[in-house]
A and B are shown apart, each in its own frame.
Chain A
């Protein structure tokens, strides 16, 4: 039985570390190390974590922009890790990506119209006239003017460029969009505009999002469910309200308590984590978080906890909840 639009099973992505003249393989960066989850049609799964936790690698591997080391990615029940080039091209019509930095994801020598229309051209969708009309429609849809089609990226502001990035992803009428930190390069007043656009589009086009961000406030704004990632693994996954009201994993608790709230009256008990994220080349044995965990036990140093399903559809990977 299929659980959703996308199902990820025990996905791993290792990057080899090489050394010496012959590029001897000495170790692996375990960017994504055994991750499983699903995304339903029309829902937003928020993926949050600090830099280096593997959230971007996960997003890219999910779309096979990176080849997975192990595991399966089922799209509508079919394992895309086995698909060939021709099938992958078909996948690109249904699954798209929005990048963090709209500056570097647009070709500076192409007009905005050409950039948006490129996907249509590659997939041979419509006549030239149809494509121009579609580009115009997309520009309006993301809140730009048809005139912007003739402009070049350097003539646009950061927020406008991100709108173009979204229009490009929408050109092929996808069902799934992986959005990798789509608003973190933007100013707050513009960030709100783009977040609204992303939420509006979801309602109208019934899109499913994997929304990747390091900012829990942003994630909380857009997500139905939220997955928290630490050092290549998902350590907690729950509905947004459940996660914010009853965080279980000590890392999630610390992350939530560290969000700077725009309210000087709020004096919270902050859980200050000691130390830093260990290297994903040589992750600590046992629970990956035990080196920083304020509630570490003997078992945590020895045995890696697995994701366990608790009440309220709440998944957590921690020995405290054994």
Chain B
């Protein structure tokens, strides 16, 4: 049975800047299934946000352009549908939450108006029923005294509460897919735990598919069913959460785990990954990770590694395994 709701095939998103072409997303493929949470993990500049924005065609153009690939939502290619059709899907069937709730809210409208806005648009409800639905959603995501707080403006909300508002707004049309781009990164530890709980409930109670983007492996461990590790605009390794955490294969995945501070280990030196993240304007030849890799072989700087299936859903793009 095919229960894939969203399929990304060979996606390429480039940014055409004055200093050159930035290959932010360079041939990425994955599928998102009904009711699963898939995490895109990687450091800054690995193309995880560009991938998410490409799915809903939200890439700023110029300088960005999706130059190849397909994004199939139940078989329908979102890259080739009309903008009117895309508007029906965006926010309605596929909703997105951004990292910084501050910049995603309009400071001159009340919170209630902003949550109700898309309800009016997509569900074609009048003001009053739309506001009632907005109230219901805000209560669902745990905003205390929601009826009074609907009349407040964004600046009267704390960061954690604003992120709850964004989640309420994203849920307004009961989307099938939720794309969350670093939704907890700007939040404090105790608030982050509260928000992650909301995501877990959403998945369980509404059987929602979540594409969760983060750089924080701790957050990933708490939420992911499957994980895709990205590096330099490409997939380095993918598999179930247990595949990645218990048996990481790609040297970059290994490196990411090794350099995490560990409370139980004590005051020891960490094992960092040497060097730095490469420029995507002029990326290294062959495997993009090869200049930082301790297992580098001659072939690594010559040929781009293909994806090797290790077991079930676990695959890795590394010459060590081919």
Contact = CB atoms under 8 A, between A and B. Distances in A.
B197 A272 contact: yes
B161 A276 contact: yes
B44 A260 contact: no
A307 interface: no
Contacts of A223: 267
Interface in A212-228: 214-218, 220-224
B261 A258 contact: no
B158 A276 contact: yes
Contact of A157 (B256, B257, B274, B276): B276
Nearest to B245: A264
Q: Chain A contact residues (Cβ within 8 angstroms of B): what range? A: 35 or more
A195 B262 CA distance: 12
Nearest to A53: B188
Given A258-B189, A262-B245, A276-B158, A187 B215 contact: yes
B72 interface: no
B124 to A, nearest CB: 36
A259 B263 contact: yes
A51 B224 CA distance: 27
B241 A264 contact: yes
A259 B196 CA distance: 12
B272 interface: yes
B269 interface: yes
B270 interface: yes
Interface string A215-249: 11110111110000000000000001100100000
B221 A262 contact: yes
Interface in B246-285: 255-264, 266-267, 269-274, 276-277
A69 interface: no
Interface in B263-322: 263-264, 266-267, 269-274, 276-277
Interface in B106-149: 144
B272 A193 contact: yes
Interface string B42-67: 01100000000000000000000000
Nearest to A195: B270
Interface in A243-287: 244, 254-255, 258-266, 270, 272-273, 275-277
Contacts of B216: 260
A189 B217 CA distance: 12
Given A50-B190, A260-B219, A272-B197, A220 B263 contact: yes
A56 B178 CA distance: 36
B293 to A, nearest CB: 12
A292 to B, nearest CB: 8
A188 interface: yes
A196 B269 contact: yes
A262 B194 contact: no
B192 interface: yes
Contact of B263 (A160, A200, A216): A216
A153 B297 CA distance: 34
Interface of B: 43-44, 144, 158-161, 188-194, 196-197, 215-222, 224, 241-242, 245, 255-264, 266-267, 269-274, 276-277
Interface of A: 50-51, 157, 159-160, 187-193, 195-196, 199-200, 214-218, 220-224, 240-241, 244, 254-255, 258-266, 270, 272-273, 275-277
Given A187-B215, A260-B193, 18 more contacts: A50-B189, A159-B276, A188-B260, A191-B259, A192-B259, A196-B270, A196-B272, A200-B269, A214-B189, A220-B262, A258-B189, A258-B193, A260-B218, A262-B218, A262-B221, A263-B221, A264-B221, A273-B190
13 contacts: A157-B277, A187-B44, A188-B215, A190-B272, A192-B259, A193-B274, A196-B272, A216-B189, A221-B270, A262-B245, A264-B241, A272-B193, A273-B190
